Each structure stands twice: as C-alpha cells, then as structure tokens.
Structure 1
Amino acid sequence: MISLSSLATAVAPVTQFFSAAKDSLTQATQASDMTWPQTIVLSVVQGLTEFLPVSSSGHLRIISDLLFGEDAGASFTAVIQLGTEAAVLVYFASDIWRIIKGWVRGLTNKAARGLDYRMGWMVIAGTIPVGVLGYLGKDLIRENLRNMWITAAVLIGFSLVFIAAERYGNKRRTMDTLTMKDALVMGFAQCLALIPGVSRSGGTISAGLLLGLEREAAARFSFLLAIPAVLASGLFSLPDAFNPEAGQAASASQLAVGTLIAFAVGYASIAWLLKFVAHHSFAWFAAYRIPVGVVVMGLLAAGVLHPM
C-alpha cells in the first residue's frame, strides 16, 4: 500500500517548480480577483476537459490551486461552461433542431410522435434530477464538495466505474432504441457530476454503456442531456461570478473571453471524442485519471496543493 508520506516524497522534485510558477503568476494581482493569465489558462482547460470523461471541474480546481494559488470558484466554472455548451449547440445544431421540431409537432399530432418527439421528452425528464439536486445543494457544491482530497479520491475511484462499464456493457444498442428509463438512469448519473472529479460525460456515458448502448450513442445522448442543465447552471451563476460568495471575482470582459476560448477548444474536443470512442475503449480515460489522482494526493500531502 502506498502511504501519503511516500507520495509526498515521490512528488518532491516537482514541488519547487510549481511553487515558483504559482508565485510568478500571482505576485502582481490581488487574491480576490481573476487575472488574465488565469482566465486564459482555465478557459483552455475547461474547453479541453468538459467533454472528455476526466472532470472539467476537478481539473479547474487542481490547476487553479497548482498554478495560481487560489480556487477560481464554482461560479466562474459554471459561466465559462456556457462556451462549451455553445459548442454542443453548434456541433449538434441539426440534431437539436430536428428534435425540437419533432417534439413540438408531436404535442398536437399523435401521428407525428416518433423518435424525435420521444427524444425531446427524454432530455427533459433526464434533466430534472440534476436540476433539483443542483439547486437544493448549490451551497454544498460551491464550497464543501470542492475539497481537493475528495476530487483526487473521486478521480481514482470513479475510474473503476469506467472499467466496469466497458467490461459489462454489451454496447449493441443504438440511439433509436433509447427509452425513458434510459434517460432517467443517465439523468441520475448526471447528478454525480456535481462532485468535482466525477465528470458529467463520464457519469452519463458510463451509465449508457451499462445500459447496453454503443459508445457513440451513449456519448451523443450524454451531450444532448447536458444542454439544459449546463445552460441553466451558467445563467444562474452569472451574477455570482462577478461578486462570488466563494472563489474569485471575474470581470465581464474576462468572462466573455473565457467563454469564447472554451467554445473554440470545446468544439474541437467534441469532434475528437466522438471519433475516439467509436473505435477505442472508454477505459483508456481511467489510465489517465488514476495517475492524476495519485499525483494530486501526493501534492496535497507535500503541501503544494491545499484541500480547500
């Protein structure tokens, strides 16, 4: 068994590097304000990790402390997520428009109630669990659950779910076989993303695989399911991002630029992930998450990172 003291010793060579980087990036600014280097770096991280099953909130939490010495906060994260969600809207624009039209037609015409009509209701139903829990637990999410020890432990522990999903899911079902039960199961799995380290796409795609969906089908519905929740979260958090109760404050220009960066990088990430999961095991992401979680624990034990 690897002890925390041995982890701290193992990462000792990198502690001075990160400490020096942190000092140089934060020395010219006040602790309560976002800086432009911080805005750019975190927006790129958001775009890269939002759709990959590695936890964007966990990575933003880690990078914020590692390089800038302070947690940017859940509100800033929620707002720049609007950029990555805009990438989903653009990438899946034809699918979204088709579903909306099918849903609207089906409301008044029973003969038109096909897959798109059902898909509309499935997205709505699957969004309810995370909407309710996200609203009721907003204070817990913004503060207590952002403990770095929790993030590191979840990065490691939830990776086992990825491996199990790949092993036990038969991956034979396509998008046209989705049911309301599937939507609700994946909707409840999306709630796990409220914990930094789980990953929204990781939770929902894993649930989809365990339900027998193909990797690409699980990923596509995961992205569609996230749209209402992330848009609502970002808009709800917008006022708090300027004057947060926890975390740092960002200016309107920083939020705007961060959102644009997240959009551009996020769009590329979607295209890459859909191609990757079509031909590769989802468990490959566990091979990344587990070492990252172990290193974070070592940095915590060494005092380079701070739990809160």
Structure 2
Amino acid sequence: MTEYIQMILMAILQGVTEFLPVSSSGHLTFLNEIFARIGMGRIEEPVTLTILLHFASLLAILFYYWRPVLRMAMGNDVRLLKLLIVGTIPVGVVGMTVKLFFDEVFETLCTSVQLTGAMMLLTAVLLILAQKMSRRDPHEMQKNGLRRNLKTLSYLRAFLIGCVQALAILPGLSRSGSTITAGLGAGLKRQDAGTFSFLLALPAVGAASMVEILKLFKDGPGDSLNLLPLAVAFAVCFIVSLLSLSLLVKILRTRCIGYFAFYLIPIGLILLFL
C-alpha cells in the first residue's frame, strides 16, 4: 500500500508541475527526499519512474494539441514540423551522448538534491527574465522586425530554443520555463512560445520515454518497481497533466510566468542547503 501511495503522490506532483514552469523533475526529487526523511523509503529507480510519468504528460500534450499534431501528420503544416525537428537536434545529441557515455553519472545527478536546488534557482532567474521580455512594447517590436510567430520563426532560432531544451535535462531546470523564456527571447508572443515549447517536448521526451518503456518491458521492473503501481500512477499523471496544461495555456493568455519565480526561490534554497 505504501508503494501505491508513493507512486500516486509522485504522479499527481508530476502532472501538476510538468507544464507549470517550476521543474517537475526537481519536485519529484524533493518528494522522494521527503519519503526518505519520514521513513517511507526512497523510490529506488526514480529515473525510470520520472521518464514514465513524463510519457503520461506527453500523451496529455497529444490530446490537448491534437489539431496541430494532426495537421503535421497529414502534411498540412510541414514548416512547423521542420521547426520541431530542428529544435529537437540538440537534445537528441546531448541525450544520446549522456546515454552512451555518462548514463550512471547522470542517474547520480538526478538524485542530487543540491544540484536540483541550484537549477531551480536558475529556473527562477529565467522566469524573471521572461517576465521582463513579456513587457516589451509589441508595436515597437513589430516596427523593429523583432516580433515573430510560428510561421515566421527561423530555423536558427528554433535550433537555439532546442539548445536551451537540451540543458533542461538537468534536474531542477524547468524544460517548459526555459524554452518558453527562449521563445520569448526569439520574439514569439507568450501563447506561441508556450505552444512551441509543449510541441517541442513531443519528439524529445517521447523518444526517451519509449526507450525506457521498452527497456522496462524487456528487463522487467525488477525488485524495486512493480508494473501495477506504475500503471495506476501513469493514469493519474495523464489526467492531472491535462488539467495542468489547460491551466498554463490560460495563464499565458493573460499574464506571464515570471510570478512562479517567487515560488521557486524558497524551494530552491531549501533544497540547496538540505
């Protein structure tokens, strides 16, 4: 029963924090540390669980953005598809390099509470920067040729946003927060930056999730993870992720994400000095 409680709590936390720019991986590390300190014991394979929960969140993206995904699949929005492919190259290169040469080191980093805290503080800085950029005069940006949308975003800028996403494999550095900030820096409006950020997660995190899922079914969950609690957590995470994504899209329509920095700063400091 304890395992079910832990998995469900992790799933709810992942679903809530995946799309809000507060770093889902950082919160999962934080919760796992709490489990250990209150005597419930850590989840022994947090990377496997994290990737599976990310896959549930990706299904929520597919469900929410089914129209643009279908347009790309039918060949009706080839340019957006190309932008996403270009934006995925950096994380693909970094991910393969880490998997082939630094897999054990990366798993150790993912459990580092101090690194997670430091990266959450960096996320807070990025969100404050995003807040500042979102206040730029749109008419002045349009006049100076700085305002862009998903139809005019260049491949170079898509690649640079992808480079920022590649850095977000570090625990505690919010993928959505960093890529939305990069999108704003590239001249996108808040909604377009959010849309590109979420769609950019599909190929990158989707590929990593599929590799982990295939590995799980090939090798079995082992002694530390059982499939039934994982399946329950997966379903819970999908539902909560869909609600969280809907909330952030509404937030981006009316205000920027910089206010989340004031939440991340104290959490990051707590983790940094644990």
Please state which band the TM-score falls in when normalised by the shorter chain.
Answer: 0.7 to 0.9
Contact 1:133 1:191 in 2 (8 A): yes
TM-score scaled to structure 1, two decimals? 0.76
Asked if 1:260 is matched to 2:232, the reply is: no
Instruction: Give, in angstroms, the shift of residue 208 of structure 1.
Output: 0.4
Q: Say which SS state the counterpart of residue 158 (structure 1) adopts.
A: helix
**1:148 partner letter:** V
Residue aligning to 1:131 = 92
Q: What secondary structure is seen at the aligned counterpart in 1 of 2:151?
A: helix
- The answer for unaligned runs of 5 or more in structure 1 is 1-24, 27-34, 104-115, 301-308
Say yes or no: does 1:64 pair with 2:32: yes
Report the equivalent of 2:18: 50
Deviations 1:17-75 (A, max 9, x none): xxxxxxxx96xxxxxxxx11111100111111111111111110110111244254111
Alpha-carbon spacing, 1:242–1:77, altered in 2? closer, same or farther (3 Å): farther
Cα deviation digits, residues 81-130 of structure 1 (max 9, x gap): 11110000010011100122226xxxxxxxxxxxx111111111111211
* 2:66 aligned residue: 93
Deviation at 1:242, TM superposition (A): 7.2
Residue correspondence of structure 1 range 1-308 to structure 2 within 5 A: 35-67=3-35, 68-71=40-43, 72-102=45-75, 116-138=77-99, 139=103, 140-168=105-133, 170=136, 172-241=147-216, 249-298=224-273, 300=274
Percent identity for Structure 1 against Structure 2: 36
Name the stretch that deviates more: 230-239 or 86-95: 230-239
Indicate conservation of the 8 Å contact 2:116/2:171, yes or no: yes
Output the CA distance in 1 between the equivalents of 2:191 and 2:223: 37
Task: Tell me the distance in 2 between the aligned counterparts of 1:195 and 1:178.
Answer: 26
Farther-moved stretch of structure 1 (131-140 vs 90-99): 131-140
Report the CA distance shift for 1:268/1:248 in structure 2 as closer, same or farther (over 3 A).
farther
Q: 3-state SS of the aligned residue for 2:232?
A: helix
Q: Find the aligned partners of 1:119 and 1:219 in 2 and give their Cα distance.
A: 14
Separation of aligned partners in 2, 1:64 and 1:240 = 23
Instruction: Letter of the 1:167 partner, please give it.
Output: K
Deviates more, 1:84-93 or 1:72-81: 72-81
Taking the aligned partners of 2:162 and 2:113, their CA distance within structure 1 comes to 25
Q: Give me the TM-score of the superposition, normalised by structure 2.
A: 0.85
CA pair 248-213 structure 1, distance change in 2 beyond 3 A: farther
One-letter amino acid of the structure 1 residue matched with residue 207 of structure 2: A
Gaps of 5+ in 2: 139-146
**Quick check: 2:109–2:115 contact (8 Å CA) kept in 1?**
no
